[in-house]
Structure 1
Amino acid sequence: MSSDDERGAPDAPDAAANEPPALPPERPLDMPTQPLKSWSKADVRQLANPAGWRTPVVSRLFVATAAIAVTGLGVYQMYKVVEVGGVTLLEWALLILFVVNFAWIALAFASSVVGLVALFGRPALKQPGLPERLTARTAVLMPIYNEQPSRVFGAVEAVFEDVKRLGFGDHFDYFLLSDTTDPDVWIAEERAFLLLREALGSDARIYYRHRAKNHRRKAGNIEDFVTRWGGGYDHMLIFDADSLMTGHAVIALAAAMEADPDAGIIQTLPLVINRNTLFARLQQFASRVYGPIIASGIAVWYGRDGNYWGHNAIIRMEAFAGGAGLPDLPGEPPFGGLIMSHDFVEAALIRRKGWAVYMLPQLEGSYEESPPSLIDVGQRDRRWCQGNLQHSALLGTRGLHPLSRHHFLNGIFSYLASPFWMFMLLCGIALALQANFIRPEYFTDEFSLFPAWPRFDAERALQLFGATMAILIAPKLFGLVIHLMDGPARRAGGGFVRIVVSSLIEIVMSSLFAPIMMLVQSGSVFQILLGRATGWNPQRRDDGSIPFVDIVRRHRWHTALGVVTLVTGAAIAPSLVAWMSPTIAGLLLAIPLSWASGHLGAGLALKRLGLMLIPEETDVPPIATAAKASAKRLAEAGADEGDGLVALHDDPDFFRAHERMLPPAPRRARGVIEPDRVMAAAKLSEADHLSEALGWLSPKERSVVMQDRALLDLLVRLPVEAPAKP
């Protein structure tokens, strides 16, 4: 497209020279690594407003008392079930596993009761009022990793415009912090950034930074921002790549942080929106109907000793820089090395420093998306599982608040619950096998008037099963009650009958998916315990199905286990099959259920019937409409398309803009050879034309070329086509 003279002339005009830089001047802020083994009360900051700090003693006592009481009653009933004729070793094992699992659901039940009381007679969500003014500066951070640029940049544009429309634009700067490793996606991000800058004007304070190496992943991405620009901001509002917030919510969070000088993190409840596959619509419905009860419950009794979920939250820069510097853990992954689930740890360390961490669960206007299928959730959970189990190494951290340790334990058990449930089922099967096929030993070495033989109180067992199911489903019923009491939400969700039917569908489908997820999570736990670390792949955001062959491969052993369980149970006793019927059904249907979970048509069919509707579908938030329109405009302008090296070669203005966005080249140590750079330079030097070079360069070498000004100069001097032979 361009001759060597045009591209290589030293005096060629730079069309981008007068454009604003991609990044503002740096304002460094120190972020020291925090110790885990040493801590002193002298390290805790003094409260700025002690009178504003209230510990919810009554609600915590209620949750603890209710959880212990419900667990005690359940354990007593279970003991009476198995103690008929004496308790054998297998029955003791079954009882212990029951205690662990039942205590988990009893705590969730007690917390949901608190949520029901907190929300009864009130709307689950409410629009925040606008403050008269703001005085602090907030950086809105969007960390991105190999995402579709038009979606991410479109969301940021929508938030920017909404905040500006409300008259508070001067208090917020926006940073798109890229850790993208795909070279073509990286160049697409730069193209989207330039298009966004063009649309919003040169004075828009929207910035873009790409890291050549994604050291320490998302935690390192945020840390890089804090240490380079954190000194220029009072707060930072953290987004995920699928996050979206209304201008009202953004401003309300900033106002809440300004009003509370002791707040370190203020978390929102992100609701799932924009989902259409069957599985994603189930999650979306559950998030909207049941989520507020769960969030309100923990917000009340956690109080100012809460947790952080890594996004849709505002953080005080001083608190984060001074208290959340993460060390690497000793040893090798999966339990050592980089802290994976860093958000829990950051919250715990910030709370240790004396800052409050709490939630505003009723704040309307905080949104996110969810994985589109069961397999996608399983892949995400594999990473989360490693991060949560890794927290076992942090339980002994000095100076942590007891509830911070509870958050760690809660996260750990959220994954250990699956193998515990599986062991409990296997223990029940073993007991049934023993009772039906093994002859009792009536004459043992120990004196006893009666043989020790497993027997059960069948009627009491049935009553306990019903009570367990009721306690398990109660939080959903509480959420349904609150949702139905909210007139506008009820009407926008399709009315009383449709919402109740939708809840029944969600409960049934969740019950079928649960045993599949039990095995998926159990497999993840066992792999991690065997020392197999996981990677960090980008999450699928779009609706769409997975090839059926992959579904069969993922779930063939789940189906086989369902067949074995059915046959074994039928051979032992029909009552065992009836008791395990939800688990057996889910496993037998694992393949079709997984296929249906990512099926767009199934989800849309429910939507057309008015089922699984949420109010945000009937009355779509303007911010969601704006983000979708912005994403569409950017996509139509070519923000997501093309080969990155071809784009740099063919567009001189874009090439110069890319060069201006590159950081200064680091000085290479003498004698240190970078193989990828050497190979890229050799291939570019020997190539006769662009297509030949593109065919030779590996993906890693492409990234090296894009980061190196000298190699880029070699690239753009290549002709597009091979020179004509004489």
Structure 2
Amino acid sequence: MALSLDQKLNITTPPEAPLAMPVQDLKSWGGRPGDVGNGRDVLVARAFVFGASAALTAFGTWKMYEVISPVNVTWLQILFASFFALTFAWIAFSCASAMLGFFMLLTGRSKLPALADTQDMGRTALLMPVYNEDPERVFAALSRMGAALKREGVARHFDIFVLSDTRNDSIADAEREAFAKLERQLNPAIRVYYRRRDNNHHRKAGNIADFVTRWGGAYDHMIVLDADSDMSAAAMITLARAMAADPRSGIIQSLPLLHNRWTPFARMTQFAGRVYGPLVATGLAAWHGRDGNYWGHNAIIRTRAFAEAAGLPELTGRKPFGGHVLSHDFVEAALIRRAGYAVFMLPTLTGSYEETPPSLIDLATRDRRWAQGNLQHIKIVGAKGLHWVSRVHLVQGIMSYLASPLWLMLLVAGLVLATVARYAQPNYFPDSFSLFPVWPVFDPELALRLFGITFAVLYLPKLLALTLALADPTMRKGCGGAMGLIKSVLAETFVSMLLSPLMMLIQSRFVADVLIGRDSGWNAQNRDDQALPFRVCARIHAAHVAAGIGFAVLSFHIAWAAFLWLLPIAAALMLSPLVSWVTGLPEFGRTLWHLNVFRIPEEAAHMPIDRPAPEDLTTAEPLLEAAE
């Protein structure tokens, strides 16, 4: 029998306790998703979110119809209104979910579920899949988590597995050295294991499946981490106790908050996730109920349910739509729900963290793979037997990338419509009988009113989140006081407005790449705060600058009104190299912190976290105490 890579290297792994993990059939399903115990409140929440979204979209589309005021409806006007309706529906749905979340948090209706006694929470494996990651960073996080579990006296309930798919031998050598150090730190209280696969088949999904089929039978649950994950002992224990208390649960997802970055881009993202995230997540959890979703990490999974239901098939056809499932988490949640297990989120559970890409360019690199994975779901959304809410999750994932080309097509259709209005000869006397000529109408007052409606729907969630943050003394102080919160929200809104047109073009390019058959590959992520030279940013964003100039010149030649409406988008694109470079400078991020902008409570020394405060903040405690 051939030796595995671990056996050749004399690395100890536990005795195998295999679980069968059959590949699931997406084309046939004999049963129906079972009842998982959703209450009446979930039905009411769904009625509100979908009803409010439909009402807002209908109202906005009607106002757009009034603005363009067609006499004889043309295909171009129908196309423009359709693009508007789709993009408006996307932001209306987010707004409705946020309003629901605001109500749930304001009334205190979002609470943790029943928990089993600590001694009855079973055995849980902490799984850390890695692929060419920095071993020092990864194993330091595992050391913190393991030490925290030891302090809480629950070490016997947890084992740690580092599941390596690393292809770089020098990194793998460093992994083994870090593993040996971690073993010495945590053994015998917590058993630590390391396995490096010979073949990284199916990437992360295959990595987890390999664990399940080899050792899954020895564990009741598994907490799946990412290489940048960090969790407090309290969070991991609560997840295990909640899973043990609920035999119908299959996945329980925590809300990972962002931390540990210094570039302005990352700090802005951290702040937005910390202040807006709980509001949005609470709304999602309310209408998802127990038919929820899974984000691939910082969640606990019932091991036998995963083995029974989540074996992923190879998709037919050529890449990028064919092949193994890239965005596996949504699909695994849908299949586990199909098998009759509940999937839900605990948005109020604290102590769950991850890191964010340090720059816009790093985000775009990661987003390319996610775009391909989410668009793959077009082939999966119609799978037999899925719960209808699971199908909604898949559609939302698809729309998170299709929204950008839809917005771009809306802009292009608007420019074409304005060009036709500017240069085409109007038909003042249509065929139908009329005593007076019919003049083409564009009502600027109605257009301004529609802009106000769109602005309100888009930014109401931020206002609601700011209201809750200001009312929470701990959040208010941790974010630099009331003025710090307000300054940060205004700064985040301004920078987001600059970045949105850029992301529109970037994601539209990704969608086009996928549609013409370009595969994303699999590259390790950059997780370090390192600024790119301006010349690199200028080269990468050259096409975006050209697009901004094109929008400005074309709209100027059409009409002053079109130019003024498109000027914010054109200007943002023309400034993209500068914005991308500045928001990637760690020194500027530190300056913003001292200016009381983009602070988060986790950086305050008084916050209870199972890890030391960032080194840069250890000397800043007096500033934190004064921020009120």
TM-score normalised by the chain length of structure 2: 0.92
Deviation string, structure 1 residues 196-251 (Cα, Å, up to 9, x no partner):
22233456401100012111100000000000000100000000000000000000
Q: Hey, what does 1:36 align to over in structure 2?
A: 26
Q: Hey, what does 2:17 align to over in structure 1?
A: 27
Matches within 5 A, 1:245-394: 245-394=231-380
Matches within 5 A, 1:291-690: 291-440=277-426, 455-619=441-605, 623=609, 625-626=611-612
Q: Which moved more, 1:617-626 or 1:584-593?
A: 617-626
Number of corresponding residues = 607
The letter for the 2-side match of 1:23 is T
Among 147, 152, 160, the residue aligned to 2:138: 152
CA contact (8 A) 1:431 1:454 kept: no
Partner Cα distance (2:492, 2:281) in 1: 19
Matches within 5 A, 1:200-211: 200-201=186-187, 204-211=190-197
Report the Cα offset of residue 619 of structure 1: 3.2
Q: Hey, what does 1:721 align to over in structure 2?
A: none
Q: Hey, what does 1:116 align to over in structure 2?
A: 102
CA contact (8 A) 1:119 1:296 kept: yes
Could you list the runs of 4 or more consecutive aligned residues of structure 1 that deviate by over 4 angstroms after TM superposition? 50-55, 121-132, 441-444, 446-454, 620-624, 626-629
CA contact (8 A) 2:57 2:88 kept: yes
5+ residue gaps in structure 1? 1-16, 630-726
Partner Cα distance (1:74, 1:35) in 2: 41
CA contact (8 A) 1:158 1:623 kept: no
Deviation string, structure 1 residues 412-436 (Cα, Å, up to 9, x no partner):
0110000000011111111222222
Q: Which moved more, 1:27-36 or 1:87-96?
A: 87-96
Partner Cα distance (1:252, 1:274) in 2: 23
Q: Hey, what does 2:624 align to over in structure 1?
A: none
CA contact (8 A) 1:128 1:252 kept: no
Secondary structure (helix, strand or coil) at the match of 1:625 reads coil
Partner Cα distance (2:557, 2:342) in 1: 57
CA contact (8 A) 1:558 1:587 kept: yes
Deviation string, structure 1 residues 137-163 (Cα, Å, up to 9, x no partner):
000000001000000001001000101
Partner Cα distance (1:455, 1:392) in 2: 40
Partner Cα distance (1:628, 1:326) in 2: 39
CA contact (8 A) 2:163 2:196 kept: yes
2:74 matches 1:74: no
CA contact (8 A) 2:531 2:581 kept: yes
Q: Hey, what does 2:214 align to over in structure 1?
A: 228
Partner Cα distance (1:179, 1:270) in 2: 24
Partner Cα distance (2:569, 2:377) in 1: 30
Partner Cα distance (1:403, 1:253) in 2: 23
Q: Hey, what does 2:3 align to over in structure 1?
A: none
CA contact (8 A) 2:220 2:303 kept: yes
Partner Cα distance (2:334, 2:258) in 1: 26
Report the Cα offset of residue 68 of structure 1: 1.0
Q: Hey, what does 2:87 align to over in structure 1?
A: 101
Check 1:53–1:143 CA distance in 2 against 1; reply closer, same or farther (3 A cut). Answer: farther
Partner Cα distance (1:624, 1:88) in 2: 62
Q: Hey, what does 1:667 align to over in structure 2?
A: none
CA contact (8 A) 2:145 2:233 kept: yes
Among 41, 51, 70, the residue aligned to 1:65: 51
CA contact (8 A) 1:123 1:486 kept: no
Q: Hey, what does 2:149 align to over in structure 1?
A: 163
Deviation string, structure 1 residues 453-496 (Cα, Å, up to 9, x no partner):
86422211110011101100111111111111111111121111
Q: Which moved more, 1:307-316 or 1:77-86?
A: 77-86
CA contact (8 A) 1:158 1:627 kept: no
Q: Hey, what does 2:224 align to over in structure 1?
A: 238
The letter for the 2-side match of 1:393 is K
CA contact (8 A) 1:151 1:628 kept: no
Q: Hey, what does 2:622 align to over in structure 1?
A: none
CA contact (8 A) 1:84 1:456 kept: no
The letter for the 2-side match of 1:194 is A
Deviation string, structure 1 residues 116-173 (Cα, Å, up to 9, x no partner):
0000165999999994433410000000010000000010010001011011110000
Q: Hey, what does 1:140 align to over in structure 2?
A: 126
Q: Which moved more, 1:370-379 or 1:131-140?
A: 131-140
Deviation string, structure 1 residues 22-69 (Cα, Å, up to 9, x no partner):
31111111100011111112x767x7xx76866711111111111111
Report the Cα offset of residue 452 of structure 1: 8.3
The letter for the 2-side match of 1:120 is L
Deviation string, structure 1 residues 680-701 (Cα, Å, up to 9, x no partner):
xxxxxxxxxxxxxxxxxxxxxx
Partner Cα distance (1:227, 1:628) in 2: 39
Report the Cα offset of residue 551 of structure 1: 1.4
CA contact (8 A) 1:282 1:506 kept: yes
Partner Cα distance (1:121, 1:319) in 2: 34
Report the Cα offset of residue 574 of structure 1: 2.3
Secondary structure (helix, strand or coil) at the match of 1:24 reads coil
CA contact (8 A) 2:126 2:160 kept: yes
CA contact (8 A) 2:104 2:110 kept: no
The letter for the 2-side match of 1:236 is M
Q: Which moved more, 1:542-551 or 1:266-275?
A: 542-551
Check 1:591–1:128 CA distance in 2 against 1; reply closer, same or farther (3 A cut). Answer: farther
CA contact (8 A) 1:29 1:226 kept: yes
Secondary structure (helix, strand or coil) at the match of 2:323 reads coil
5+ residue gaps in structure 2? 1-6, 616-628
Report the Cα offset of residue 440 of structure 1: 3.5
Q: Which moved more, 1:125-134 or 1:154-163?
A: 125-134
Question: Considering only CA atoms, is the larger Rg found in Structure 1 or Structure 2?
Answer: 1
Check 1:467–1:628 CA distance in 2 against 1; reply closer, same or farther (3 A cut). Answer: closer
CA contact (8 A) 1:23 1:207 kept: yes
Report the Cα offset of residue 597 of structure 1: 2.0
Q: Hey, what does 2:618 align to over in structure 1?
A: none
CA contact (8 A) 2:19 2:304 kept: no
TM-score normalised by the chain length of structure 1: 0.80
The letter for the 2-side match of 1:275 is R
Report the Cα offset of residue 403 of structure 1: 0.5
The letter for the 2-side match of 1:531 is G
Partner Cα distance (2:416, 2:172) in 1: 55
Deviation string, structure 1 residues 641-697 (Cα, Å, up to 9, x no partner):
xxxxxxxxxxxxxxxxxxxxxxxxxxxxxxxxxxxxxxxxxxxxxxxxxxxxxxxxx
Report the Cα offset of residue 596 of structure 1: 1.2
Query: How large is the Cα RMSD of the aligned pairs?
Result: 2.4
The letter for the 2-side match of 1:26 is E
Deviation string, structure 1 residues 294-349 (Cα, Å, up to 9, x no partner):
00001001100000000000000111000000001100111111111000000000
Partner Cα distance (1:308, 1:479) in 2: 23
Partner Cα distance (1:473, 1:208) in 2: 46
CA contact (8 A) 2:114 2:245 kept: no
